[in-house]
Amino acid sequence: MQIRKLLLTKNDCYKRGRYIVPKGIMIHSTGANNPWLKRYVGPDDGLLGHNPNNNHWNMSGVGACVHAFIGKDKSGEVQVYQTLPWNMRGWHCGRSGNDTHISFEICEDNLKDPVYFGKIYAAAVELCVKLCREFRLSPDNICDHAEGHQLGIASNHGDVSHWFPKHGKSMDTLRADVKKILEGDKMDNKPATWAKEAVDWAVKSGILKGDEKGDLKLSSPCTRQEMVVFLHRLFNLKK
C-alpha cells in the first residue's frame, strides 16, 4: 500500500517527543461528517487540498495526535497519511493505551456510503497488516477505541463499533481479515524467477498442489511419498 507522510511536527504531542515500544494497534474514527483529510492533516501538500478554516492538527494547542489518518484527498480518492513516527507516543485514547498502541483515525462521512466504507475498511486492513509485519504484532492486539475502554486502557468512546456494523463489518472481521493475510505470508508459494515457468505449468497441470491451506511448500525438502504423488499425477496426465 502507498502511505504518504506528512508529520504533524507543530503538534504539541510531536514536540513532546516521547517514544514507545508498540504492543498493539488502536483504531479510531473522527466522529464528524467530514471525510476530507485536509480537516486534520496539513498544511496542503498539493494532494490534500486547502483547509480554509486552518483547523488541521499540525499546530500547537490541539491536544490530540495520532500516527495516521485514512480519508479523502481533494479529488475524493481515499489515501493513508502517516502523521507521527510509528514508535512515537501518541495522544489518542486518554489512558495507558497511549503508552502501548499505534493509533490511526478514519475520517467519518455520514456513515451511509458503502463505497467509501469499503475503501476505508480495505485501507485499514492493509495498514494493520503493514504494522503487524513491521512490529511483529498479533492481530489479537488490534482494538478500536470502544474495545480499548473495555480493556481499561482508553477513555469511554464508541468508535468504531457505531459505524462498522452498518456495513456488515466489525473489529472481529477486521482482525480475521488481517490474520488471513498474515497467515498467507507464511506460505511458501513464490517460486524463484528461474523456476516460475515450470512451477506455473505444474500447478496448472495439477501435478503440484498445495496442502489444505494452499501452501505449495516450494522451498521444503521433498519426501519419497510426495515424489510418488508427483510421479503418479504426471503419469496420469500423460494418459
Give the SS3 label for residue 142: strand
C-alpha triplet 157, 159, 161: angle, nearest 5°: 120
178 membership: H or E segment, kind and range: helix 171-185
Domain boundary among 142, 158, 185: 185
Q: Kindly tell me if the per-residue pLDDT of 119 is higher than 90.
A: yes
Q: Are residues 17 and 87 in the same domain?
A: yes
Give the CATH number, domain containing residue 167.
3.40.80.10
Helix (H, G, I), strand (E, B) or coil at 200: helix
Residues 142, 231 within the same domain: no
Whether residue 140 is found in the same domain as residue 214: no
Number of domains in the chain: 2
The residue with cell 499425477 is: 233
Same-domain check for residues 91 and 130? yes
Same domain, 119 and 209: no
**119 and 200 both lie in a single domain:** no
Q: Are residues 178 and 140 in the same domain?
A: yes
pLDDT at 65 over 70: yes
Average the pLDDT over 60-66 and give the result.
97
Name the band, by pLDDT with cuts 50, 70 and 90, for residue 143.
very high
Of the candidates 159, 185, 211, which is a domain's last residue? Answer: 185
Question: Roughly how many angstroms between the first and final C-alpha of the chain, as a whole number?
Answer: 46
Residues 34 and 57 in one domain: yes
Domain range for 31 is 4-185
Average pLDDT over residues 118-122: 98
Based on the fold, state whether residues 107 and 75 are members of the same structural domain. Answer: yes
Last residue of a domain, one of 169, 185, 201: 185
- Looking at the structure, tell me whether residues 24 and 47 fall in a common domain: yes
Q: What is the pLDDT of residue 49?
A: 98
Taking alpha carbons only, the member of 149, 175, 21, 42 closest to residue 88 is 21
Express as a percent the part of the chain with pLDDT over 70.
99
Which uninterrupted H or E stretch holds 104?
strand 101-106
Q: What is the per-residue pLDDT across 181-224, written as a single tens digit (0 to 9) for each? A: 999 888 788 888 888 898 889 888 888 888 877 888 888 888 88
Asked whether residue 239 carries a pLDDT value surpassing 70, the answer given is no
Mean of all residue pLDDT scores within the chain: 94
Residue 238 above 70 pLDDT?
A: no
**Strands, E assignment, 153-192:** none
What is the mean predicted confidence (pLDDT) over 114-132?
Answer: 98
Considering the domain architecture, whether residues 45 and 163 belong to the same structural domain is answered as yes
Whole-prediction pTM: 0.82
In degrees, rounded to 5, the angle at the alpha carbon of residue 164 between the alpha carbons of residues 37 and 113 is: 60
Least confident of 6-15, 139-148, 200-209: 200-209
- CB neighbour burial string for 223-239, b if at least 16 within 10 angstroms, e if fewer: eeeeeeeeeeeeeeeee
Considering the domain architecture, whether residues 8 and 123 belong to the same structural domain is answered as yes
For residue 102, pLDDT beyond 90:
yes
